[in-house]
Structure 1
Amino acid sequence: MKNLLAFASLALFALAGCSDDKTEPTPEVKPVVEEAVSGEVSGTWTKGGTYKITGHIQIPAGKSLTIEEGVTVLFSDSVVKPEVVVQGNLYSLGTADAPVKFTVPDAWKTTANQFGNLWGGLIAGPKSAEFVLKNTILEYGGAVTTEESPSVKAGLYKQLAGEHVPVIYFPNIDGKLVVVNSTIRNFNEDGFYIEGGKVIIANNYFYTTGVSGGDAINIKSGVQADVAFNVIYSPNTNALKLSNSGDRTPQAYIVGYNNTIINAGWRRPTTKGGSIWLEKSVRADLYNNLLANDRFGIKRDKGAAEDNRSVISNTVYYGHDQLTTDQFQPSAEIIKGANDLLSTKAGDNDPKFVNYPLSTATTNAAFDTKWDFHLQAGSPALGKGKTDFTRLYANGIVVNGVTYTSPAPQSFAGALGTK
């Protein structure tokens, strides 16, 4: 009995000791704030951090910069208007809940600065091998180059002072470019200007881009791309400008499908484009695209037309007024595809967007984030999509060990089906 009592006392003592044991709390790690970033950069910009860019920055050849979720890249020098030159690799890896932002101070986001011009863009070099933007917001850039711009000194993009730089310039025919689930807005001219590489551009929003020129996505020879499920609102000229200019190998080949394009081309002073433009032997397969109130239908350069293997099919057209509807009609320049839904009467084929006034002025560039381009029941775009075609990257592109796959086509036209 004495031994039993002793054992019980020891057990209680041990339990008491355990109850008094206090685990040290995990120290809170505050996000990084770097006040003045310029020059060469590489490594990792850590989750939730803020990196204030006060001069031109460059990722050197052979090195990589990884930007984690929730990072703010803040361009905060209004005199320098910094560029980001990517001679190595860039991986911007936001999430839906915590996107990466390439932006400017909130005080600069005024109506006067609607089209940006407050920093440059992301300008890749000829040996930049891998470039990924995932869940990334890019806004208020597109500044004009000067003789001191690093892109001019390096002979990149158009190699001249006095040119507004695009959101992304990518020239490596052996490289890989992936842009998915991202937003491009408030830029001065072109969105993407691509002269090479295996490319996926999918599930993005483009709006408020281009003052006097500029296409949302401008593709040249050397590029093989899947471009799909993008919502492109009021680009100054075309949503997609597809060309084999430059005669690089491989021939430009683009599979563009399930994109929603609204109000394209009306703000350009001349009539070069107005939805999708094809030229100079580009090979383009275009399916399931929804064109609403664009200046023209799918248009070709009569003097330098597309490759005759190109396929255009299952496009849905809507024109709120008769002028727009008339400019969708087939001609030597305007291409009618197989199984298109096209009417000669204004107001036909109402896409029944969940929330967008179809009477909005075609020259409007201001985007309301409450608009919703999903389709309501009864939309003629539902059931109009073709799914039995081949996309280039159904099996994916491997970038930095991650496989990115172009999305499967859907049985509706446009980027967004029903909710």
Structure 2
Amino acid sequence: MKAKCLMLVAALAGAVLTTGCENDNINPYDYTGKTTTDKTTPSEDVITTTLAQYPKGSIVWTHDTTLTESVEVPEGASLYIEPGVTVTCKSGVQVPVEIVVLGNLYCMGTAAKPVTFTSDTKKPADWGGIICGYKSEEVVLSHVDIAYGGATPTESSLSFQNQLFKTTIDGGVPAFHFCNVNGKFVISDSFFHDNYNDHTYFTGGNGIIARNTFADNGNAADGGEAINVKSGCKLDVADNLIYNACTNAFKISNSGNSETIPLTDMTAYNNTMVDCGWRRSKNKKGGSIWVEKAARPTLVNNLVYDCRYGLKQPKKDGADTEHSRLTPNYYYASTADGVKQMAKDASLGMWFDTDFHSAAPGDGDPLFTNFVQNPKMNINCEIDDAEQGAPLPFSKAWNFALLTASPALTGGVVDFQRMFPSGLAFFGMKKVTFLAPADDQNYYFTAPEPTTRFGAEL
């Protein structure tokens, strides 16, 4: 934890501004308890709340708020969202609500008080997402709940006007998009669920994605990945649970950017993927992990459970296997179709003898502590309907930790280097002075060290 100048605590406490009770709605541009009509000018003063002191030029959200229109964080400015704040995005508006971050964003949730982005009707595609700009330097999503995003923008949408993510209107946006090759982001201890398209989409950036749950995303028409990575990224991705991604848990490609953008390097290890890929039986694309166009990840110690396929690539322009490490991983299937579609001769499949594959339905069950599979499960159902075999809706009562008798507790590897073994520092967080040491939050984030267990530490 970072050091404090304790001599300032008493003085700062005396400067706290009255902002009302925690559940009061606020204007999202109300930085210091006084509403401004200029929506693009951050505070010129140091901001002190009941929790912390923030630097000049900050935007601080301290209370719940409902957005009826999109919000833009200006270039060079920083938006801080305090623990426990819920941001409700109004659905059914003419231009879907988006949060466009041209500057920096720090969602400072805690396990007890997460920051929540939701909608009023709690249906997928009620709002857009958090879309970051090409000069966005730092984004922290720590203990954040993001749901019901993925709406299709219009030509009046802030993301479209800033030429972010989409330059043509041809579908929805992801719940979170980052694109600055030189920027930094972290997604840690968060819960993404019920988003209409991709949960996350990256076209550049240095990032850590660790200890998150990604559940129930995508749609039959457009698909949806949990983690979609293009070129220009350096990523550590570990200890994540991915459940019911419509197309893939991971899609990894070195396309999507200018040829001047560096190729992506990433380590994806000790992740658990369950029931992914129900949409893709017709075109055979994806199902759990899809690598293409010179992707060169380190992809090891992952547990793939009852997904439509195992590791796959296109017939042409697939992974750069010479510079990749794609084994060992653990592929389990409880059905005959699952065994067949993860077999050595599966179309477009990538097979390694050093992986574990179920030789028969139920062979090598990794033994989750508490998980209820759909008894009608059909991994080729193509429709998001549990009665026809699609995955059941995600339940927080489930526990994907492995029992002590699990055969997946050993066999992984640790002889590889993470992208950021010393972690990533977010200096906008360092500038925050918390008034009470018990509320302090670190500004350094590090992906967990790999273990010989397959799957996530849950």
- CA RMSD, Structure 1 to Structure 2 (Å): 1.9
Q: Which residue of 2 aligns with 1:354?
A: 369
Q: CA deviation at 1:267?
A: 2.5
Alpha-carbon shift at residue 337 of structure 1 (Å): 3.4
- Structure 1 residues 167-201: Cα deviation after superposition (integer angstroms, max 9, x where no partner): 11111100001101000001101111101011111
CA, structure 1 residues 199+223, in 2 after alignment: closer, same or farther (shift >3 Å)? same
Any idea what SS the aligned residue of 1:324 has? helix
Larger relative contact order (Cα-Cα within 8 Å, sequence gap ≥ 6): 2
* Letter aligned with residue 81 of structure 1: P
**Does residue 1:405 correspond to 2:446, yes or no?**
yes
Matched residue, 2:14: none
Whether the 8 Å CA contact 1:258–1:409 is kept in 2: the answer is yes
Aligned to 2:35: none
- Is 1:291 matched up with 2:304? yes
Match of 2:73? 59
Q: Which moved more, 1:364-373 or 1:405-414?
A: 364-373
CA contact (8 A) 2:197 2:224 kept: yes
> Counterpart amino acid of 1:70?
G
Structure 2 CA distance for aligned equivalents of residues 306 and 40 of structure 1: 44
Partner residue, 1:226: 236
User: What does 1:371-382 align with in structure 2 at a 5 Å threshold?
Assistant: 371-382=398-409
Identity percentage of aligned residues: 38
Distance across 1 between alignment mates of 2:416 and 2:136: 31
Instruction: Give the CA deviation at 1:340.
Output: 1.3
Write the distance in 1 (CA, Å) between the matches of 2:410 and 2:81. Answer: 40
Shift of 1:321: 0.7
In 1, distance between residues paired with 2:168 and 2:24? 34
Match of 1:186 in 2: 194
After superposition, the C-alpha distances for 1:342-373 in whole angstroms (9 at most, x for unaligned) are 13211101011111134542422511221111
Match of 1:237 in 2: 247
Match of 2:134 in 1: 126
Residues 7-406 of structure 1 correspond to what in structure 2 (within 5 A)? 30-31=21-22, 33-37=24-28, 39-40=39-40, 43-47=58-62, 49-79=63-93, 80-105=95-120, 108-109=121-122, 113=123, 116-212=124-220, 213-245=223-255, 246=257, 247-268=259-280, 270-307=283-320, 308-331=322-345, 333-337=348-352, 339-360=354-375, 361=377, 362=379, 363-364=390-391, 366-400=393-427, 401=430, 402-406=443-447
Distance (whole Å) between structure 2 residues aligned to residue 78 and residue 133 of structure 1: 26
Distance 1:40 1:232 in 2: 37
Distance 1:169 1:315 in 2: 28
Amino acid at match of 1:414: G
Structure 1: how far apart are the matches of 2:27 and 2:451? 46
Q: Which residue in 1 is equivalent to 2:51?
A: none
- Contact 2:234-2:264 at 8 Å conserved across structures: yes
In structure 1, the residue matched to 2:55 is none
Q: CA deviation at 1:44?
A: 4.3
Q: Provide the C-alpha distance between the structure 2 equivalents of 1:161 and 1:194, rounded to a whole number of angstroms.
A: 19
Of residues 72-81 and 388-397 in structure 1, the stretch that sits farther from structure 2 once superposed is: 72-81
Is residue 211–residue 240 contact of structure 2 (8 Å, CA) maintained in 1?
Answer: yes
The CA distance in 2 between the partners of 1:182 and 1:314, in whole Å, is: 27
SS of the residue corresponding to residue 58 of structure 1 reads strand
2: CA distance, partners of 1:354 / 1:41: 51
User: Aligned partners of 2:41, 2:118: CA distance in 1, in Å?
Assistant: 18
Contact 1:326–1:344 (8 Å) recurs in 2: no
SS in 2 for 1:256: strand
Q: CA deviation at 1:416?
A: 2.7
- Once the two structures are superposed, what CA deviation does each residue of 1:364-404 show, in whole Å capped at 9, x if it has no partner? 25112211111112111112221221111111111124221
Q: Please list the CA deviations of residues 268-299 of structure 1 after superposition, one character each: whole Å capped at 9, or x if unmatched.
A: 45321001111001111111100010111111
Moved more, 184-193 or 323-332: 323-332
- Range that drifts further, 229-238 or 377-386: 377-386
Q: CA, structure 1 residues 158+248, in 2 after alignment: closer, same or farther (shift >3 Å)?
A: farther
Uncovered stretches (5+) of structure 2, i.e. residues with no partner: 1-17, 30-38, 43-57, 380-389, 431-442
Check whether the contact 1:170–1:194 (CA below 8 A) recurs between aligned residues. Answer: yes
- Give how far 1:336 is off: 2.3
SS of the residue 2:159 aligns to = helix
Give the whole-Å Cα distance in 2 for the aligned partners of 1:257 and 1:210.
23
1:37–1:55 Cα contact (<8 Å) kept: no
Work out the CA distance in 1 between the residues paired with 2:237 and 2:302. 11
Computing the radius of gyration over CA atoms, which structure comes out larger, 1 or 2? Answer: 1
Partners of 1:248 and 1:141 lie apart in 2 by 31
- The TM-score, its normalising length taken from structure 1, stands at 0.87
Does structure 2 conserve the Cα–Cα contact (< 8 Å) formed by 1:221 and 1:248? Answer: no
The answer as to whether partners of 2:332 and 2:364 remain within 8 angstroms in 1 is: yes
- Say if 1:248 and 1:204 are closer, same or farther in 2 by CA, change over 3 A: farther
Q: How far did 1:241 drift?
A: 0.3
Determine helix, strand or coil for the equivalent of 2:125: coil
Using structure 2 for the length normalisation, give the TM-score.
Answer: 0.80
Task: State how many pairs are aligned.
Answer: 383
